[in-house]
Amino acid sequence: MGVTETFFERVWSVAAKVPRGRVTTYGAIARALGSPGAARTVGWAMRAAPAGSRLPCHRVVKATGELSPEDAFGGPGVQRLLLESERVAFDEHGRVDMKRHLWIP
């Protein structure tokens, strides 16, 4: 059964499971796939995610709660607005309140 499933595909599968109103991290996804050091590769997979795919890539943030580069979603503050519309709270530093919203696959 030639499952030619690439690492990217697995990343997308996991990312698609992130519940609404919650966020996960690149490292968490990498660990869920058995490659704890592949956080960067996970980020690359997000970058490679085709626009228009229903992938909730805005729910994937850094381990610190910081968001991705602003130009990654088509404009500054876009990712934040998307998350806020899902009731995700931000702290005074502009980072996601991980204690409340972090979700581990």
Partner DNA sequence: GCCGTGACGATTC
Partner DNA sequence: CGAATCGCCACGG
Binding site for DNA (CB under 7 A): 6-8, 25-28, 35, 37-44, 46-47, 49, 57-58, 62-64, 68-69, 72-73, 79, 93
For 23-35, letters b (16+ CB in 10 Å) and e give bbbbbbbbbbbee
- Greatest Cα-to-Cα distance within the chain, rounded to the nearest angstrom: 50
Please indicate whether residue 57 is annotated as part of the active site: yes
Q: Which of 57, 60, 88, 96 is catalytic?
A: 57
Q: Shortest Cβ distance from residue 96 to DNA (Å)?
A: 12
Comparing CA positions, the residue from 5, 8, 30, 9 lying closest to residue 104 is 30
Q: How far is the CB of 88 from DNA (least distance, A)?
A: 15
Q: CB 22 → DNA: shortest distance, Å?
A: 15
Q: Where are the beta strands (DSSP E) in 5-102?
A: 24-25, 60-61
Please answer whether residues 24 and 59 qualify as being in contact, where contact means their C-beta atoms are separated by less than 8 angstroms. Answer: yes
Nearer to DNA, 62 or 103 (CB): 62
Nearer to DNA, 21 or 27 (CB): 27
Give 21 or 49: the residue with its C-beta nearer to DNA: 49
Which residues are known to be catalytic? 57
